[in-house]
Amino acid sequence: MAAITIEEALKKFDRRFYSYHVNQDRLSIFSENVKRYVDMTIKAIHENESEEHLKNITNSFLKAIYSAERYEINTDKRIDSTIKVDGKVQAIIETKKPTNKSEMVTENKINVKALHEILFYYMVETRDVTGSKVKRLLNTEIRRCIITNTQTWVIIDANEIEKVVDGYLEKLFYKYQNHQLIYSNNTDKFYEDTKQYLETIGVNDRLPYIFFTISDYRPVKKMQYLYKVFQKTFLLKDSSRYNESTHVLNDKFYQELLYLMGLKEKSGKSNKTIEIDHTISNSLANQVYSILKNDKEYDEISCIEKTFELVIIWMNRLLFIKLFEGQLITFNGDEKAYHILDSDKIIDFQNLQDLFFEVLGKKERDDNDFIKKFEKIPYLNSSLFERYDIEKQELNINAMKNEMVAKKKNSVVGTKTNTEIPILDYLIAFLNSYSFSSEISKNDTVIAGRDIIDASVLGLIFEKLNGYRDGSFYTPSVITEYMCMKSVEKAVIDHINIEKHWNCKDLFEIKANMGMTLADAKEINRLINEVKICDISVGSGHFLVSALNRIIAIKKQLGVLFKHGKDELLTEYDIDVIDDILSVYDGQGKSFHYDKNNVLSQLVQETLFNEKRTIIENCLFGVDLNSKAVAICQLRLWIELLKNAYYKNEVMETLPNIDINIKSGNSLINKLNFAIGSKIGQGGVELEKNTQKLINQYKKLVYCIIEI
């Protein structure tokens, strides 16, 4: 049987496209279109409307998706419907009545009249029969052939259709069109000959096609796949690919997050900076600023700097907690016991402070009613949940009052009820309106009705917040992924070549030169672990996170990734970097999901965790002038480790407080006694002539100033 599901087709087409999370607003609009289409078709079927009527309903449904002027959806000669782009046919559609079951494709049978008609129309569009023999028309752009009875849909790749018609059928079509057959002008006879030929080639098993029923994909959790299959990226195989990314900033989330923090963006000449918005009464920044200004009597600059530092620290913790909560729910199911930021558990800012330091930041916890609410929440061995110096010196989050704050216009928590809400309640409701799980769930579904905010998106938000004064510059994932692929692979190849005295040009040659024994694989694994990668302006750590994923993917590509604690290679899963994310999937393309009750799944999770730990501790280094950026980079690497945290004996293993080699400082002149206007080097010590020459060349190239 050649029929496949939408999910299988999307994975085969492009795993990036399959994995990206659809914008919730777009999905809602599409869902309404689907509902309208289904309601209209049900009514038409009940009233026994004609096939022509059903065709028009289907065309209206598609026109709502392809609404731009360059698209035209209508009948075309004898073809029921076509989708034209800039005047060229790119999809052929054959519509059947649901009651006409004998002519409609099923999940087990495709050799029916609907297919015969599609093949005929395809050849009408793609074959020149005016000469002495059949020829393929130039500049035809048909991408898909579609068959539907409005309830069931069949989508066939035009390349597969071409394989079927090439040869015998196109020659038969040539004879038919040139009246060389005894039944010329009788398409039913042509379809009968087509059917017999298709039987001989075993078309039911040979021709792959997507088969689905719209009603099966109407539940919210599966609607995203229906959305994707009707998008131009898939349906028309648009060469520009999809313009959505898993890691773009969700501006609605970001703007409301700023609002709750009491901040706002301000446009500058070349970028955007962030400042305190004093018009938002009782926001976090508003309360902190008032305490520092009125109670502690700091000057204006100190008030602003300290306000930003405190509010960002608190928000970093809250966002990390949501990521952690998302992982716990992914591992254990959506049970209330694994919900951390819950308005039933956190009722005031003292509770929030206790959550930080008495629950998440304390291994041996006290025994009281509040702590018991979090008995299934593991201890987090992270400095993020230790008091920062500024908290010790100035104030903690329990100094905040749960006062009323006005809801932001078009707030995600809704504005139909109260226009004001206590700030803590607002903050929790806001964060709980989004899904912070970085993966599609175990059943390849997403949490219904909520946009996804993953670790990569939070990295972008962290970067923007920490660059509040001067603005921030974030490298898109596609660029970082490409840079890492090129630079990390080169670093690995160069190091192995040096140590093994090889002259390999790429990873394929490395693999070809390797021996076949486990000892050979262990040696290459060891050499990869010796590679050092340093980002001298590390920012939020985006490049190092990409490098971490790339190194693991390289190990798998070379066949040197060992199962943790075993002399056995990991062969059950493939690993690749897709959309700047480490993707693990089996031979059928199904994504890996950690199941603590499955032996292999447990071992894979432990392997990924310990590989990441080894690489973070031994291979990744970073420096940045901004100490806050360093803290965020450390946090992001720790989050990558968190993704593969695992359970043992029903208890999550405590995450190690790993030694992360990310430091604050000036990577260019940190070891020099440098002062503007002074010579480079120690006083009384002359530089070597070669060193002096290099410095002069550097100055000429970069600064264009006189020689020293």
Radius of gyration of the chain (CA): 31
Max CA-CA distance within the chain? 106
Contacts 24+ apart (CB under 8 A), 641-646: 641/609, 641/612, 641/613, 641/616, 642/323, 642/324, 642/327, 643/327, 643/438, 643/455, 644/594, 644/605, 644/608, 644/609, 644/612, 645/327, 645/609, 646/594, 646/596, 646/602, 646/605, 646/606, 646/609
Rounded Cα distance between 326 and 700, Å, is: 53
Same domain for 503 and 367, yes or no, is no
Q: Map tokens 């921030």 to a residue.
A: 472
Domain stop point among 470, 489, 506: 470
Cα–Cα distance between 225 and 242 in angstroms, integer? 14
Answer yes or no: do 607 and 650 share one domain. Answer: yes
> Is 484 inside a domain boundary?
yes
Burial class (CB in 10 A: 0-12, 13-18, 19+), 14: middle
Residues of the chain where predicted confidence (pLDDT) is lower than 70: 1, 239-248, 268-270, 415-417, 438-452, 467-474, 658-659, 669-687, 701-708
| Of 349, 356, 331, 350, nearest in space to 340 by CA | 356
Strands (E), 252-368: 263-267, 272-276
Q: Is residue 322 part of a domain?
A: yes
| Distance separating alpha carbons of residues 335 and 319, to the nearest angstrom | 20
- If asked whether residues 466 and 521 sit together in one domain, one would say no
Same domain, 307 and 361: yes
Asked if residue 677 belongs to a domain, the reply is: no
CB 391 within 8 A of CB 311: no
Instruction: Verify that 466 and 546 share a domain, yes or no.
Output: no
Q: Hey, how many other C-beta atoms are within 10 angstroms of the C-beta on 56?
A: 18
Task: Classify the phi-psi angles of 654: left when phi > 0, otherwise alpha if psi is within -120 to 50, otherwise beta.
Answer: beta
Whether 461 and 483 share a structural domain: no
- The number of distinct structural domains making up the chain is 3
Cα distance between residue 623 and residue 544, in whole Å: 11
Mark residue 559 as left, alpha or beta (left: phi above 0; alpha: psi -120 to 50; beta: remaining).
Answer: left
**Judgement on whether residues 500 and 593 belong to the same structural domain of the protein:** yes
Domain boundary among 625, 648, 664: 664
Residue 452's closest CA among 632, 592, 250, 638?
250
State how beta strands 144-148 and 152-157 pair. Answer: antiparallel
**Residue 221 sits in the same domain as residue 337:** no
If we measure between CA atoms, which residue out of 31, 33, 42 comes closest to residue 221?
31
The parent domain of residue 385 ranges over 251-470
Query: Residue 134's pLDDT is what?
Result: 92
Contacts of 343 (CB under 8 A, 6+ apart): 425, 428, 429
Whether residue 335 is contained in a domain is answered as yes
Q: How far apart are CA 486 and CA 125, in angstroms?
A: 44
Residue 594 lies in a domain: yes
In a domain, 674, yes or no: no
- Using CB atoms within 10 Å of the CB of residue 254, give its burial: 0 to 12 exposed, 13 to 18 middle, 19+ buried: middle
Q: In this structure, are residues 507 and 556 in contact, taking their beta carbons and an 8 Å threshold?
A: no
Please compute, for residue 253, the number of CA atoms within 13 A of its CA located in the half-sphere on the CB side: 22
- Domain for residue 688, yes or no? no
CA 541 – CA 397 distance, rounded (Å): 27
Domain end, chosen from 427, 451, 470, is at 470
* Identity of the residue numbered 430: F
Q: Do 545 and 596 have their domain in common?
A: yes
Dihedral angle, C-alpha 39, 44, 46, 50, nearest 10 °: -160
Of 278, 287, 270, the residue nearest 472 (C-alpha): 270
Residue 265 and residue 224 in one domain: no
542 alpha-carbon distance from chain centroid: 14
182 lies in some domain: yes
- Residues 309 and 222 grouped into a single domain: no
pTM recorded for the entire structure: 0.73
Cβ proximity of 550 and 577 under 8 Å: yes
Query: What is the phi/psi pair of residue 184, to 5°?
Result: -55, 145
Burial (Cβ within 10 Å: 0-12, 13-18, ≥19) of residue 62: buried
Whether 223 and 311 map to the same domain: the answer is no
160 burial level (CB within 10 Å; 0-12, 13-18, 19+)? middle
The whole-angstrom separation of Cα 442 and Cα 598 is: 13
